[in-house]
Structures are given as C-alpha cells and as structure tokens.
C-alpha cells in the first residue's frame, strides 16, 4: 500500500524503479546498457503513476538517470499524475551500477563462465565488483554526494520524485536507511516498485512506506 497522503505533508522523497526493460525480460545483465522499456515495463511505470495519482501526489521536482528506461518511466509517471509539464532533471550519478564485463551477458552464460556463487556475490554484495565494473560500494560513493548536494535540499522544500534503477536505488536506500552490508544483500527492488520517505525539518527520516 502506498501511504494515503491527503494530509498536507511536505518534505517527501519518492523513489521508483523503472519498468521492465528489454534486457530485464531477456535475463541480461544490463548496467549502463541503454535498454528500452518493454510494453509490460511501460504498463508498470503507468501503474506506479496511477497509484500515486489516486493519492493526489504532485511533485515539485523530479529527477531521473540519463538512461532511456528511467527517463521514459519518469515521463509515464508524470503523465499519469497530470504533470506533463514537469521536466525531470537527469543526473548521470543516478545511472545504473556499471556491470562491467557482465553487461549484456545472459545470466545463465555468466553463471557457467564464473560460477553461480561468484555471480551472486557480484550481483548483491556490497564490496565485490564484477570485472571492470562497479561494486555497490562504488555506487554508494557516487550517488550519495549527488543526493546530498542536489536532491535532499529540494526535498526539504517539497515532494520529490526520483526514477532510477535497481542497484543504484539499492545504494541510495542503503544510505537512507543506514543498512549494513549484510542487510543490503537481501534488498530487492522490483521493476515499477515505489518507496516513500518522509523527512523532518532536520533532514532525519520520520516515516517510510514501501509499495512493492
Ligand atoms: O542487470 C542489471 O543491471 C540489474 C538490474 O536490472 O540486474 P540485477 O540487479 O538483477 O543483477
């Protein structure tokens, strides 16, 4: 359930993972590949927008990554909200975690080449990076400064939408919720899912809602 937000509360941050991409559907490691949304992915983004619209959300500012699947998901969400005129700012710091040599590989092929345990470690651990790619720690290191410099100050003045990616949002959620490396291993964000944070004036988080 998304929080019913008829009450005039401000200082909220809404995180949405983009809808299903063509690479997601094909079981490919994606990372920085610019894979477009599938029809199902468009519907997931529209559904997230409709759920927010039912609760009368209006955003002051929106941010997306520079990748098409997040940009288009953001557009679909804002159209569903009746905010087609709100143009999201695009930040490369919100781009997906770089999967390096795994990018574009079929997950079954990667398991066969490196072993399923190693692949799962690269996918979900905090500190281990795939060859020539980023660890989640690397992603935290680039996303948190962007969040602190460009997103949090805007959240303090109104409601903000961020549309980005599974692993880059895991990195941001880790920082927001002060998760341990062990806890973040179990964090999964499905396509089109929504997480909402409400902040106090001192920038601490007062409440959180998850709409899987
Ligand atoms: O391929 C990717 O970039 C990511 C997210 O889609 O996949 P996963 O986190 O499931 O390994």
Secondary structure (DSSP) of 50-64? HHHHHTT---SEEEE
Would the CB of 24 count as within 6 Å of ligand 1?
yes
- Structure token pair of residue 121: 């470690």
Residue partners of 16: CB distance under 8 A and separation at least 6: 45, 48, 73, 74, 77, 161, 162, 163, 164, 192, 193, 194
CA atoms of 80 and 50, how far apart (whole Å) = 6
What pLDDT tens digit does each residue of the chain (212 aa) get? 555 555 555 799 999 999 999 999 999 999 999 999 999 999 999 999 999 999 999 999 999 999 999 999 999 999 999 999 999 999 999 999 999 999 999 989 999 999 999 999 999 999 999 999 999 999 999 999 999 999 999 999 999 999 999 999 999 999 999 999 999 999 999 999 999 999 999 999 999 999 86
pTM of the model: 0.94
- Structure token pair of residue 95: 């781009």
Does the active-site annotation cover 96?
Answer: yes
Q: Residues 159, 12: contact at Cβ < 8 Å?
A: yes
Give the CA distances from residue 16 to residues 64, 103, 104, 131, in Å, rounded to whole numbers and listed in that order.
10, 22, 23, 28
Would the CB of 96 count as within 6 Å of ligand 1?
yes
Does the active-site annotation cover 3?
Answer: no
Question: What does R_g of the chain's alpha carbons equal in angstroms?
Answer: 17
Q: What is the pLDDT of residue 211?
A: 84
Q: Residues 158, 11: contact at Cβ < 8 Å?
A: yes
Q: How far is the CA of 152 from the centre of ligand 1 (A)?
A: 26
Would the CB of 122 count as within 6 Å of ligand 1?
no
- Structure token pair of residue 205: 């988080």
Q: How far is the CA of 7 from the centre of ligand 1 (A)?
A: 36
CA atoms of 95 and 31, how far apart (whole Å) = 8
Would the CB of 31 count as within 6 Å of ligand 1?
yes
Q: What is the pLDDT of residue 51?
A: 96
CA atoms of 78 and 86, how far apart (whole Å) = 7
Q: What is the pLDDT of residue 10?
A: 79
């Amino acid at each position: 359930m998304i929080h019913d937000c008829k009450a005039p509360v401000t200082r909220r941050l809404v995180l949405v993972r983009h809808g299903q991409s063509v690479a997601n559907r094909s079981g490919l490691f994606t990372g920085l590949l610019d894979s477009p949304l599938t029809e199902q992915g468009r519907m997931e983004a529209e559904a997230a927008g409709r759920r927010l619209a039912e609760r009368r959300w209006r955003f002051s500012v929106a941010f997306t990554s520079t990748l098409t699947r997040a940009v288009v998901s953001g557009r679909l969400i804002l159209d569903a909200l009746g905010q087609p005129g709100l143009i999201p700012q695009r930040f490369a710091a919100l781009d997906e975690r770089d999967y390096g040599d795994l990018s574009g590989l079929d997950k079954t092929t990667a398991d066969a080449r490196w072993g399923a345990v190693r692949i799962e470690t690269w996918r979900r651990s905090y500190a281990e990076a795939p060859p020539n790619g980023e660890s989640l720690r690397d992603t935290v290191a680039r996303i948190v400064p962007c969040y602190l410099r460009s997103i949090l100050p805007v959240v303090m003045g109104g409601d903000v939408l961020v549309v980005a990616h599974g692993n880059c949002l895991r990195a941001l959620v880790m920082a927001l919720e002060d998760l341990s490396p062990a806890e973040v291993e179990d964090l999964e964000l499905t396509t089109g899912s929504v997480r909402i944070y409400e902040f106090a004036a001192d920038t601490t988080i007062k409440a959180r809602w998850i709409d899987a």
